[in-house]
Amino acid sequence: MASELRIHAGRAWIDGAFRPAVIDIADGVIVAITDPGDGEQGDAEPGTAESTGAPATGIRPATRPATVIVPDDAVLLPGLVDSHVHVNEPGRTEWEGFRSATRAAAAGGVTTIVDMPLNSVPPTTSVAALRVKQDAAAASAFVDIGFWGGAVPGNLGGLAPLHEAGVYGFKCFLAPSGVDEFGHLDRSGLEAAMAEIAALGSRLIVHAEDPDHLHGDGALGRGYAGFLASRPPESEEAAIDAVIAAARRSGGRAHVLHLSDGRALPAIRAAKAEGIALTVETCPHYLAIVAEDIPDGASEFKCCPPIREAANQDLLWQGVVDGTIDAIVSDHSPSTVERKRAGDGDFGLAWGGISGLQVGLSAVWTEARTRGIPLSTLIPLFTTGPAAVAGLAEAGRIAVGTPAHLTVFGVDDALHVQARDLRHKNPISAYDGRELTGRIRRTWLRGVPIFDVEDVEDVNAASAAPAGRLLTAPHTERIAV
């Protein structure tokens, strides 16, 4: 098939390394990847760099593809994968919706998200609820979307039908979730869900905080230290120990969501070394923000588990560098400004969740640079890592035969974050006012532009029809139990 779009990049992320490449795209799929030194392909001219339409003159053959040149101060990446996003539609659409969330994703270089089963109403704990969610997403998705199901008290028998309907796995909480309609599992519930999910060949993803170690309910005051003390590291460690034990007994796959406590990493390392099918993610806010910098009353920084101290952050970065941590994902969990400011900055009353879908790579890269950690260490954690966590077969790679989901990251670009400029629904974010280094410049979904930083009026994206697809999990993978 003739190439319709050709992208030249001096540094493209292919097979786990940066290298020069010419990428040819036809019908939304990558059809060829060649070395620019290979004769025919190395013919792009700087003057065509901005061209994404048909050639303007008759000099060239009509079949010549539109050409984009990625400049040397930027890298071409596979579209990023974010396996932890709370879209909240339907039911709490005033908090966040598919249109605003997926436009924020596109601006953050993210071309595939997996939606969490709670905060929407109904929560995704039955096939009927999944259908409601898919219907809401169908007409509004600017990026591809898969769905997690929920494992809650009383729906054990509903997990197999949800699995067959194509959810990528099941989320459970071991402590109260924050919304009444999504209950948490006790230890026997965890064991039962883990056994059932292992038998299905699916995966259990766990909000790992142990309620026995959590203190305080209701108002906690405006002091961040008081909030932090109410959710100590022991709560994560105890819960993660329980997850590891359940995974060991069942032989199934388990995933620890949003790890904040670096002291839990030794247990996770040991479990992996033992051969337990365990993965773990952390989030940009845990890697880029420390408790010492959070002002009292600044409830935009509230999330659970909480952002901890600088010494703890160093441990998390060790886990990134040594490969223990499998993925860095946003845990984008917005609410209205009013809800996020509830109680006038009282950390017990405000909604717990951080809005960071659009700035994840920039935030983490900014911190990595100060630590001397190369971009190549981070990219797998934003691409193949979360794709593997969710079992997404085609996302997160630049490879022949895969959808042409691509993004350009200006590695030295300055990014002054202002919450009002971010595309998620409500203009509040823990990143407001931060000066970051590195910024997404362009994003393509199946070879079609869905974000361009130069398009300041956002004309193209605003007028474009949402072309994201609803993804369903294949069921070919079964693991012995």
The residues in 61-120 that bind Zn ion, with binding defined as CB under 5 A, are none
The nearest distance, CB 148 to Zn ion, in angstroms, is 10
Q: Containing H/E element for 437?
A: strand 435-445
The residues in 354-413 that bind Zn ion, with binding defined as CB under 5 A, are none
Nearer to Zn ion, 86 or 222 (CB): 86
Nearer to Zn ion, 209 or 331 (CB): 331
The nearest distance, CB 172 to Zn ion, in angstroms, is 12
**Given the rule CB under 5 A, which of 44-52, 290-298, 324-332, 410-418 is the region that contacts Zn ion?**
324-332
Nearer to Zn ion, 195 or 304 (CB): 304
**Given the rule CB under 5 A, which of 59-67, 171-179, 278-286, 326-334 is the region that contacts Zn ion?**
326-334
Q: Containing H/E element for 152?
A: none
Say if residue 52 is exposed, middle or buried (CB neighbours under 10 Å; 0-12, 13-18, 19+).
Answer: middle
Nearer to Zn ion, 144 or 331 (CB): 331
The nearest distance, CB 32 to Zn ion, in angstroms, is 39
The nearest distance, CB 69 to Zn ion, in angstroms, is 38
Residues in the chain: 481
| Residue-by-residue DSSP string for 40-101 | GG----GGGTT--SS-SSSSS-TTPPEEEEE-TTEEEEEPEEEEEE---TTTSTTT--HHHH
Q: Give the span between the Cα atoms of 68 and 74, in whole angstroms.
A: 13
**Given the rule CB under 5 A, which of 2-10, 331-339, 414-422, 440-448 is the region that contacts Zn ion?**
331-339
The nearest distance, CB 5 to Zn ion, in angstroms, is 35
Q: Of 138, 113, 110, nearest to 451 (Cα)?
A: 110
**Given the rule CB under 5 A, which of 33-41, 323-331, 375-383, 405-413 is the region that contacts Zn ion?**
323-331
Q: Give the span between the Cα atoms of 301 and 304, in whole angstroms.
A: 10
The nearest distance, CB 119 to Zn ion, in angstroms, is 8
Nearer to Zn ion, 144 or 209 (CB): 209
The nearest distance, CB 331 to Zn ion, in angstroms, is 4
Residue listed under structure tokens 């969490």 = 116
Nearer to Zn ion, 196 or 331 (CB): 331
Nearer to Zn ion, 79 or 356 (CB): 356
Among 89, 96, 237, 331, interactor with Zn ion by CB under 5 A: 331
Q: Of 365, 359, 441, nearest to 76 (Cα)?
A: 441
Tokens of 259: 């790890």
Return all residues near 267 (Cβ < 8 A) that are at least 6 apart.
237, 240, 241, 244
Binding site for Zn ion (CB under 5 A): 331
